[in-house]
Amino acid sequence: MQDAERSDLVNETESPARVSLFGDMEITECGLVFEEQAWESGFKFVAGLDEVGRGCLAGPVVAGACILDPSRELPKGLNDSKQVAAAQRTEIAAELKEICIAYAIGSVSAEEIDRINILEATKLAMRLAIADLKPSADFLLIDALDLKGVGIPQKGIIKGDSISASIAAASILAKTYRDELMAAYEPQYPEYHFAENAGYGTRHHLNALRDHGACPIHRKTFRGVLPKPDNSLAIGGEMI
Q: Write down the number of H helices and E strands in the chain.
A: 8, 9
Structural domains of the chain, count: 1
Which CATH number is 124's domain given?
3.30.420.10
The tens digit of pLDDT for each residue in 133-179 reads 999 999 999 998 999 989 999 999 999 999 999 999 999 999 999 99
Confidence (pLDDT) at 228: 78
Full domain range(s) for residue 79? 2-177
Is 220 within the bounds of a domain?
Answer: no
Is 195 within the bounds of a domain?
Answer: no
In 10 A of CB 13, how many CB atoms? 7
Confidence (pLDDT) at 27: 72
Burial level of 128, CB count in 10 A (0-12/13-18/19+)?
Answer: middle
Confidence (pLDDT) at 174: 98
Average pLDDT, the chain: 88
Residue ranges of the chain with pLDDT lower than 50?
Answer: 1-20, 231-240
Is 143 within the bounds of a domain?
Answer: yes
Is 61 within the bounds of a domain?
Answer: yes
Closest CA to 102 of 179, 167, 168, 45: 45
Confidence (pLDDT) at 23: 57
**CA distances, 17 to each of 1, 28, 131 (Å):** 20, 26, 17
Is 154 within the bounds of a domain?
Answer: yes
